[in-house]
Amino acid sequence: MEGGCVAQGSTCGVVTGGALGIARMYQQQLNPGEALSQVAVMRSVRYYVDWFSERYGSTRCFDRSGVDFNTLSGQLRYLVSIPKLFRCASQVGHAVNYLTLNSNDIISGKTFERDSFPYENSPHCAQKVLVSIRDKTGFGYSPLEQIAFVFDGGVGASGGLCGAIAGAVMALNLHHGTDLRQSSYLRNAHAFFKGHANLLVKKPFGRKDTFFLGKRLIREIQREAGSTLECSGITGETFKSLDDFSTYIQTSDGCGKRIRSISEIASKVILESM
């Protein structure tokens, strides 16, 4: 998710990572009938996305950094710029502070209440892609599938990165990604720089990673389903509430076709990379 989904300039990885973090914190309470519902988590995600956008002017990586990671000049502008690197690092720190300081509001119920509409029964874009890819390839992770609903409607129904595309990239990362908790700082840094270099070359440095395969995945999705990666650009909709999204997704033929198409493309890329 770094750099706006395989460094494509879409929704910032700090935003998508924070959304997953919110859901992960309360995953044990997401079962039907529990006090904390998917609705509460989605509202928390939307508040987080709105906070980030208001603080930094945009949730899109390219809007804030002006960096095209798919060019050598763009990468050099980023990697040799101390202010750009420091700004990204500081945003991570501010985001973690926001998430930890506001987490108790979810549990206490002071900020969120259960909605009357059955959002839990709505189709979930990223979740459907992840499940479909697992069925086709054998690669999957059920805890990730359970919390992937936070990408609905473009990350908390904010119109950002398409949930189906996010699901495809996460599925690819399950097989080719790096486990940061099981790796040293130097190995993590090596994976970071190698991944960015792999965005620029036709043959990967070392084994194929999520950046190298991800750029192919994104290009094939764009050829098949259009160039934009944002939900608002794809649907032409601005969701004012989860009720709006729930109504839209349950009646949208376009989203259903896109989910199926992206699942097929991602499954093909994963199987051919094994």
pLDDT digits (tens, 9 = 90+) for 220-267: 999 887 788 999 999 998 888 788 888 888 888 888 899 999 999 999
Q: How far is CA 193 from the centre of its chain?
A: 21
| pLDDT for the residue numbered 254 | 87
Handedness of CA 188, 191, 194, 196 (dihedral sign): negative
Q: Is residue 85 part of a domain?
A: yes
Q: Is residue 107 part of a domain?
A: yes
Q: What is the pLDDT of residues 66-99, one digit of tens each?
A: 889 999 999 888 888 777 778 888 999 999 999 8
| Reported pTM | 0.90
Q: How far is CA 30 from the centre of its chain?
A: 19
60, 11 in Cβ contact below 8 A? yes
Q: Is residue 96 part of a domain?
A: yes
Structural domains in the chain (count): 1
Q: Is residue 48 part of a domain?
A: yes
207, 215 in Cβ contact below 8 A? no
Torsion, Cα of 130, 4, 121, 147 (10° steps): 70
Q: Is residue 2 part of a domain?
A: no
Q: Which amino acid is at 23?
A: A
Task: For residues 16 and 148, give the distance between their C-alpha atoms in angstroms, rounded to a whole number.
Answer: 10
pLDDT, average across residues 61-65: 90
Q: Is residue 6 part of a domain?
A: no
Count CA within 13 A, CB hemisphere, residue 218: 25
Q: Is residue 5 part of a domain?
A: no
Q: Is residue 146 part of a domain?
A: yes
181, 158 in Cβ contact below 8 A? no
Range of the domain at 108: 13-273
Contact partners, residue 246, CB within 8 Å, separation at least 6 = 117, 118, 119, 122
